[in-house]
Amino acid sequence: MKKTVSLVLASILGGILTLLGYYYFSEQFQINTRLEAADSGKIIQTKFVPATTYEAEATDFTKAAAETLNAVVHVKNRTTYTPNTLEFFFGNGRTQEVVGTGSGVIISPDGYIVTNNHVIKGASDIEITLNNNKMYKAEVIGTHPNSDIALVKIDASNLPFITFADSDNVRVGEWVLAVGNPFNLTSTVTAGIVSAKGRDIHLPETRNRMIESFIQTDAAVNPGNSGGALVNTRGELIGINTAISSQTGSYVGYSFAVPSNIAKKVVEDLMEFGDVKTAYLGIVPLEVNGETSKELGLKESEGVLVKGFSTNSRAERAGLEVNDIIIGLDDVKVSKYSNLEGFLSAKRPGDVVNVKVLRDGVEKEFKVRLSNQFGNETIGELDFSKYLIGDLKKIPKSLANEYRLNFGVQIVKLRNNFLKNKISEGDVILRIGEHRVRDVKEVESALRKYKGKDVSIQLLNKEGFVDYLKITVYQ
């Protein structure tokens, strides 16, 4: 009897435990199922491209590096340095040789090489070393200080070279390579991305004369890289490395390159004309930003405001008006002045461009034929002297005898309004820079030698005193 009771109790207890176990594990299964469902989230349709159809940009730089290394050269320049009076007496008094180095880019198989103007400036001797260690003497074909571009040539053939790309198509964020010879370390390649375009870095040594519409990159660039190549991942030239922003003189994160479109145009002009043809819209510009927008009560905070027009302005002739805001040139967006400056630096007088403006909030477009600094497409025989000073004539014999002069050119009519408070009609020009002038053609010739630079003019005023004046000669 006792055994029977024990079996019954054991059976009841087992059943109770079985039921409790069932309910416990059943509840846990339901909880886990709810958690998994909650983790999976609600399915929402999006516009993302399926991973199977998205193709990432290639980041293999080996092909681009291999194609460009042999086309980037080492540039060594030698400059003769003559000591000043103090150094002559307290030093050894001897003429010294200063050696500078940089980089250059071969752009044709017959030996044309583009570099920076500051790399070869003042050089009495230029030596080019190829990546295979062959050395050549280089001849200067031409320089353009305003863009810091110079063109030299070596006597060679069948050289590897880099082709130009359209720098207007460069995108912020795309991968680039900087190729050059920093610290005399030949054949150096660094990688980075394009950080910005149309950058104006206000180089102090240019005194606002240099074209500043740089490509900014974080590819490491150091002293010696100047004149080297900035290339895309296809090995095409998109810029000439020119400057770094640094308080130490070495790379700290930012470097700047002259866009290839500007470099290409400068090189072509130097090869064809021996000089650079600069294009102008013929406007007096003012960059529109937050400050100027607030000051002038404008709705827009980007673009270039037309404050006025130059003499013989092609833009005014095409229909632009004062207070128009330029926002585009052809397919290039103009959000700041450096965009406009960079675009025009790749054009020539006579080129026709499509100018997009905002006028009272309404977009309008005009076709403008660009001109030179004098409002024409070609430079006249006396344009520089006429526009920078005025109408001139050889010094009258009576005045020459009075002051015992056998040279000098008199100002008959002053045309440059900016000089009216500094010189007067009747004053006599004695020298332009270091050049003594005897007739109008000599004044014109002397002024042209200082294109893009400041030059000092020595004058004999009507009171009989010698005076000096500094002017900037239009490029």
Q: Among 103, 195, 226, 255, which one carries the catalytic annotation?
A: 226
- Which residues have CB under 8 Å from 23's CB, separation 6+? none
Q: Among 147, 148, 260, 313, which one carries the catalytic annotation?
A: 148
Q: Among 103, 118, 345, 383, which one carries the catalytic annotation?
A: 118
Q: Which two tokens stand for residue 114?
A: 């583009």
Q: How many CA atoms lie within 13 A of 291 on its CB side?
A: 3
Q: Checking phi first, is residue 88 left (phi over 0); if not, alpha (psi -120 to 50) or beta?
A: alpha
* Residue 21, helix vs strand vs coil: helix
Give the containing element (helix H, strand E) for 219. Answer: none
Catalytic, 144? Answer: no
- Closest by CA to 328, choosing from 350, 300, 297, is 300
- Which residues have CB under 8 Å from 439's CB, separation 6+? 394, 409
Q: How many Å is the Cα radius of gyration of the chain? A: 35
* Residue 412, helix vs strand vs coil: strand
* Residue 216, helix vs strand vs coil: strand
CA–CA distance, 94 with 145 (Å, rounded to integer): 30
- Which residues have CB under 8 Å from 355's CB, separation 6+? 281, 315, 318, 320, 326, 328, 329, 365, 366, 367, 368
Q: Which two tokens stand for residue 316?
A: 């005014």
Q: Which amino acid is at 344?
A: L
Q: Using alpha carbons, list the distances in angstroms from residue 346 to 152, 213, 276, 284, 341.
A: 20, 11, 11, 19, 9
Catalytic, 202? Answer: no
CA–CA distance, 209 with 203 (Å, rounded to integer): 9
Q: In which residue are the tokens 């990546």 written?
A: 131
- Closest by CA to 418, choosing from 474, 344, 376, is 474
CB burial of residue 370 (10 Å; 0-12, 13-18, 19+): buried
CB distance 288 to 301 below 8 Å:
yes
Beta strands in 132-234 (DSSP E): 135-144, 149-154, 175-180, 188-199, 214-217, 229-231
Q: Which two tokens stand for residue 160?
A: 């590897």
Catalytic, 40? Answer: no
CA–CA distance, 2 with 438 (Å, rounded to integer): 146
Active centre residues (catalytic): 118, 148, 226
